[in-house]
Amino acid sequence: MLEVKGINKNFKGVHALKNASARFYDGEIHGLVGENGAGKSTLMKIISGVYSPDSGTIELDGAPVSFQSPVDAYNAGIRIVHQELSLIPSLSVAENMYIHEFRNASPFTRVNRKSLVERAQKTLEDWGINISGSRKIQEVSMGIRQLVEIARELSTGGKIIILDEPTSSLTYKEIDRLFKVMQHLKQNAYVVIFISHRLNEVTNIVDRLTVLRDGEVMATEEKKNLSPVQMVNLIAGKEVQNLFPKTDTTIGDIALYASNLSGAGFNTINFNLYWGEILGIAGLIGAGRSELIRSLYGMNKKHSGKILLNGKELDVKNPEDAITNRIGFLSESRGIEGIFPNMSVVMNLLIQKIKDIISHLFLNKKSIKAISGKLIADLKIISHRPDIQKISELSGGNQQKVIFGRLFNLNPRILLLDEPTRGVDIATKIEIHKLIGQFVRDGGAVIMVSSESDELLGVCDRILVLHEGTHVGTFERGNFNKEELLLCMMNTKAG
């Protein structure tokens, strides 16, 4: 149904795509994998009309097409569901699904909401999505929102569905529900292009996959012809043995002690964190993981309980108190709470220590260059002009490394990391794990939330398991067991 031939695209001298070619058949789920910056997003933006290729062609059903805008691609039946969803939380499921029908409406147009809900309900039921069309989007889970966005695109007549990292914020049950919808799409002769950094999901769901590296197509193969190790090596361009390298450290005294902590989303939590330790927090979405570490950082108020740092009680009322006590925090919402998208890479690195680079009311360019240059080199941040390039122009992996650089520039002793490798490629994931490992080797301590059980099992010394806001189990490194961890997360077996 869809074919791209010899696609080339340059951005300011950077060759984003080099003679890229691929075929996407109807009735298949086609995986698209590669590191951040490999060209996946550029290729999808060309297919969806956001960019025009410098050279090469696109064919639909064997006929050449030329998209001058996203509207052209939309009219040709191409739909893309982005990782950052575009639903309006205050509107209902039905209103979100059919909002496109009102783009030319006058202020006096009357909306028949009963009819909208009935139509939405039928579409949702046809695709096996069990949700009321009258519910507000803000009342439903992230997994349901993902399915609603897909249903909206299907209701507009699209036949090619591009899913960009659709599972990054979903629970296991929601991922299973999404995969069932994807299989339904396949059976109804849709083209499904599935972009993901989670290779275990790719190998479970796709029929064929295309690997991109440095803007080039390295392979397009049926899934059965590529082992996970071969996939990783094609993506990284080198032999990769361990995605989750464990750094050997010496565990010291208690760094932080939490006693009977309660707050919005969690209740009566007790734990110790030791110097030199990576303490993982596992649980399904909604278990209270993020809420717990945000309260430790002063972003969320705790209702009761106390926190001791090096044996002394610590009253963290806000993030400034946490920073003063050398506690750093990384949010799971990189785009909303992590980066300043319209500021340069350098200013994103130094923004929290702005006083250190001001001299007599002016920015000290020499200090800026010295401090940012060292951070960029140490973290291997790829940016062609970090002093003027906006951070929003970097790949997701490089954005994440900039945020880590900002944290390290604060000279923290404890790091609270919420999904530190979400949406980053394999090579960057390994680099981030090594950075975290070096941090604890140097005597720091880390609390890390992750939705990837393999990541927690790979890099953590202990894993604390939460379920619906309560502590239901703790696993020590010598007794890690993936199956038992997953059962404990579902509260069917305690750790």
Q: Order across the sheet with 266-274: list the strands.
A: 266-274, 254-263, 302-309, 312-314
Bin 274: left if φ > 0, else alpha if -120 < ψ < 50, else beta: beta
| pLDDT on residue 235 | 80
The answer to whether 2-236 and 254-489 have equal CATH topology is yes
Architecture of domain 2-236: 3-Layer(aba) Sandwich (3.40)
How far out from the chain centre does Cα 23 lie? 27
- The DSSP line for 20-84 is EEEEE-TTEEEEEE--TTSSHHHHHHHHTTSS--SEEEEEETTEEE--SSHHHHHHTTEEEE-SS
Beta carbons of 471 and 450 less than 8 angstroms apart: no
Sequence spans of domains, the chain: 2-236, 254-489
Element (H, E) at 347: helix 345-350
Residue 339, SS3 per DSSP? coil
Pairwise CA distance, residues 322 & 291, whole Å: 16
Tell me which residue of 200, 282, 278 sits closest to 450, measured CA to CA: 282
452 residue type, one letter: E
Pairwise CA distance, residues 248 & 244, whole Å: 13
DSSP state of 390: B
Tell me which residue of 150, 220, 217, 136 sits closest to 190, measured CA to CA: 150
301 residue type, one letter: K
pLDDT tens digits in sequence order for the chain, 495 residues long: 899 999 999 886 678 899 999 999 999 999 998 876 788 888 999 999 999 999 999 999 999 999 999 999 999 999 988 776 788 889 999 998 888 777 777 787 787 888 889 988 988 887 777 888 899 988 887 778 878 888 888 777 788 999 888 876 676 777 888 888 889 889 989 999 998 877 777 888 899 999 998 889 999 989 888 877 788 778 877 655 566 778 888 999 999 999 999 998 899 999 999 999 999 999 876 788 999 999 999 999 889 999 999 999 998 999 999 999 999 999 988 878 888 888 899 888 888 777 777 766 777 777 888 888 888 988 888 888 888 899 988 888 889 999 999 999 899 999 999 999 887 877 788 889 999 999 999 999 999 999 888 889 989 999 999 988 999 999 999 888 888 888 888 777 545
| pLDDT on residue 494 | 46
Q: Across-strand partners of 92? A: 136
DSSP state of 107: T
Architecture of domain 254-489: 3-Layer(aba) Sandwich (3.40)
